[in-house]
Amino acid sequence: MYEIVRERIDPHALERVARRGDGGIVTFLGVVRDDAHNGRPVRALWYEAHEAMAVAEFGAIASEARERFGDVRVAMVHRIGELGVGEISVAVLAAAAHRGSAFDACRYAIDQLKRRAPIWKKELYADGSGEWKETDTG
């Protein structure tokens, strides 16, 4: 499950990649904060993406996670458009037989998504201004 969406993300929907034998399911949720790294109050974020390329990159990252961490399934969903404070912007789930592999795969997947996926973020500040931000490389 690799998607770019415009509607609210339901993190439980990602659980469909898990199998009955999975003893570890790890979920990461990225949520819009009310302050920027520069300390300015944020009212929302605006995300844009090259959707086809981003979804393809999600698939490549999931394949790499399987190569690195074994029999693990990964789901990734990123939302685009305007998101208010407290809304989920990205969700990553990794499911595996054991928790260690699930934790490692989830961390790898979100870190690589932030580095590689063609997704761009603009911070919309409380004063009405906005600023495009560099990709967060973790």
Interval 18-43: pLDDT, tens: 999 999 999 999 999 998 878 899 99
Residue 81 pLDDT > 80? yes
Closest of 44, 49, 43 to residue 76, by C-alpha? 49
pLDDT, position 137: 54
What is the average pLDDT across 105-125?
A: 97
Amino acid 70: pLDDT:
96
Q: Are 113 and 61 in contact (CB under 8 A)?
A: yes
List CB contacts of 134: < 8 A, sequence separation 6 or more: none
Please say whether the dihedral angle defined by the alpha carbons of residues 98, 15, 11 and 138, taken in this order, is positive or negative: positive
| Spans of all domains in the chain | 2-127
* pLDDT on residue 45: 97
- Beta strand 2-5 with 72-79 is parallel
Instruction: Please check the confidence at residue 113 and state whether its pLDDT lies above 60.
Output: yes
| Residue 61 reports pLDDT greater than 60 | yes
pLDDT at 39: 86
- pLDDT tens per residue, range 5-21: 999 999 999 999 999 99
The H-assigned helical ranges of the chain are 51-69, 99-116
More confident call, 138 vs 51: 51
Residue whose entry in the numeric block shows the structure tokens 């990159």 = 57
Q: How many other CB atoms are found less than 10 A from the CB of residue 86?
A: 9
- What is the CATH number that goes with domain 2-127? 3.90.1170.40
With 0-12 / 13-18 / 19 or more C-beta atoms within 10 angstroms meaning exposed / middle / buried, residue 27 is: middle
Can you give the pLDDT at residue 136? 65
> In a 3-state reduction of DSSP, which class is residue 59?
helix
Res. 50 pLDDT band, cuts 50 70 90: very high
